[in-house]
Amino acid sequence: MLETKSLSPTSPVRRPPAGLPPLNNSLRKFGRTFSRRGGRPLCMGSGVVPFFGSPATLSGYRETEGDVAAWLVAEKEPPIRDATLESILKASPIGIGLVENRIIRWTNDFFLEMVGYSAEEIKGKSSRLLYESDEEFERAGRVKYGEIRSRGIGTVETRMRRKDGAVIDVYLSSVAIDRNNPCAGVCFTVMDITARKRHERDLEYIATHDSLTALANRRLLEDRIRQSLAYARRSDKMVALVLLDLDRFKGINDTLGHRVGDAVLREVARRLTATVRSCDTVARFGGDEFAVVLVELDDPAQVGPLAQKIHKNLSRPLTIQDHELQVGASIGIACFPQDGLDAEDLIHKADLAMYRAKRSGGGFCRFAAL
């Protein structure tokens, strides 16, 4: 229990007694340690708080005396807390760091392992060093600092380049020391999400590609058609959809088996991909039907030669497991904007044209408009 008493001077004192630090209405503490009976230490001390009769006149001091062990513990807590926090940051299983104006000031060991640099190599360098490209550096900064200003915390998924050149996907979360001036100092955490993003990309690929031929499936085909039409409208270009049905595939599949039939489909996919331009899309429409989206066409006259080139390449014999096979295809073509204004219209018109080519005996190419 602390004892409190007042020490009042006989006359007003306008300055503190000699030896005391400047008074600011705060408690000053003084203490010594004694030994209790039995050897247990006793920390005794006193503290004084000035009180004034007027703002300029010191009236006296309020003194407290007693066991000051709690004071001593409290004074030691900040260094202990700092050391504990530093240990936690170093041992954390996620990357942690501090940047000022996008200059790296400090990172923990886990982050250094993540990016493959030493502390000496990275400290004081622009964080651009860590990003896959200038564009990604600018994009991530724009998103991150924009969110910090609007809601106090900025998060972004981005790609970083390790010292060895490997690119990793990361989730970056940042908080500004001063929300109104985030560039002055930002604390960040980084998690490596490469495995998760790879899994997501694998699932997306499975959902949008044919497992046998690795071509785009119908879902991706329709999306590519819509994208191509949107671009064609903006740039005043044409788009042509070419649908193909293999003429003699059913007989090959029934007589030589599914293994040979699958090999035929893979070879047709390879030939189609090799025939068209890199900007075009080749897809397996279903069964023995394929589709090609020809984009960025300036004139309807361009479509015929491209279709004939496709027809010629598919008419050449295929050698599959010592079997020389003649396949061929019936082709139907629909063009934007003449034959349809959306993906559904173009698919429907091209399918009708392909059916007419098939009814003509196979091996023909028909346009929807004819």
Per-residue model confidence as pLDDT tens digits over 217-228? 999 999 999 999
Write out the residue range of the structural domain in which residue 31 sits.
Answer: 26-88
Q: Which residues pair with 61 in a beta bridge?
A: 7, 50
Q: Considering 44, 72, 88, which residue would you say is the last residue of a domain?
A: 88
What is the per-residue pLDDT for 22? Answer: 43
Does residue 224 share a domain with residue 280? yes
Using 50, 70 and 90 to split pLDDT, how confident is the model at 16?
Answer: very low
In a domain, 145, yes or no: yes
Q: State how far the Cα of 19 lies from the Cα of 69, in Å rounded to an integer.
A: 24
- Tokens representing residue 56 in the block: 């300029």
Does residue 163 share a domain with residue 79? no
In a domain, 10, yes or no: no
Amino acid at site 335: C
Query: Residues with Cβ < 8 Å from 40, sequence gap 6 or more?
Result: none
Q: What is the count of structural domains for the chain?
A: 3
Q: Considering 39, 73, 88, which residue would you say is the last residue of a domain?
A: 88
Does residue 227 share a domain with residue 137? no
Q: Considering 66, 88, 110, which residue would you say is the last residue of a domain?
A: 88
User: Among 16-20, 125-129, 203-207, whose mean pLDDT is lowest?
Assistant: 16-20
Does residue 362 share a domain with residue 231? yes
What's the CATH code of the domain at 275?
A: 3.30.70.270
213, 60, 203, 188: which is closest to 130 by C-alpha?
Answer: 188
Looking at every residue in the chain, the average pLDDT score rounds to 82
pLDDT at residue 347 tops 80: yes
Does residue 253 share a domain with residue 309? yes
In a domain, 162, yes or no: yes
How many CB atoms within 10 Å of residue 357?
24
User: Among 69-73, 152-156, 326-330, whose mean pLDDT is lowest?
Assistant: 69-73
Tokens 């240990």 correspond to what residue? 87
Does residue 363 share a domain with residue 221? yes
Does residue 106 share a domain with residue 184? yes
